[in-house]
Amino acid sequence: MVQDLMTPPTDMLTRLGRNWGWLLAYGIITLIGGIFVLAWPGPTVVVLAVLFGIQLIVVGIFRFVAAFAVADTTGGTRALLALLGVLSFIGGCTRCSLASSGSSTAPWRSSPRSRTVRCRAVAGSL
C-alpha cells in the first residue's frame, strides 16, 4: 500500500527534466540577486525583499492551482500543496507589506515592542 503512494525517483526526475528551463532561469535569477546584494547591500535588500514577496505570491498561486490541476496526486498531496500555496501567498503578502513600510531590512535592530506593533498592524491589514 505504501508503494502505491510513493513516486519513484526516476519518474520525478523525468518530470523535472521536461521543465529544466524554468529551473535554470529560477536559479540564474536567484544567483544574480545574490550578487547584487553583495555588491550594493543597502538598497538591494529592500528591492529583493519586495521581489521575494512577489516570488512567494506567484509560487503560492501556482502551488494552489497545482493542488487541483494535477491528476496523478492523492488527496493528502493535494491538501499539502493547497496548504503550502496558501501559506506562501500569505507570506508573500506579508513580506511585501513589511518591505513597503521599511521594516524588513533589519528587523533585529528594532525593539520587540515595535516588532509586535508592526506584526499586529500587518495582521490587521490582511
Tens of pLDDT along 8-56?
667 766 776 777 787 888 889 889 888 888 888 777 777 878 888 888 9
Same-domain pairing of 9 and 66:
no
Same-domain pairing of 29 and 85:
no
Same-domain pairing of 61 and 110:
yes
Same-domain pairing of 110 and 76:
yes
Domain holding 103, by residue range, is 41-126
Q: What is the band of 85 on the pLDDT scale with cuts at 50, 70, 90?
A: very high
What was the pLDDT predicted at 60?
92
Q: What angle do CA 9, 31, 105 make, to 5 degrees?
A: 115
| pTM metric for this prediction | 0.55
Using an 8 Å Cβ cutoff, are 96 and 53 in contact? yes
Q: Which of 2-11, 29-38, 59-68, 105-114 has the lowest mean pLDDT?
A: 105-114
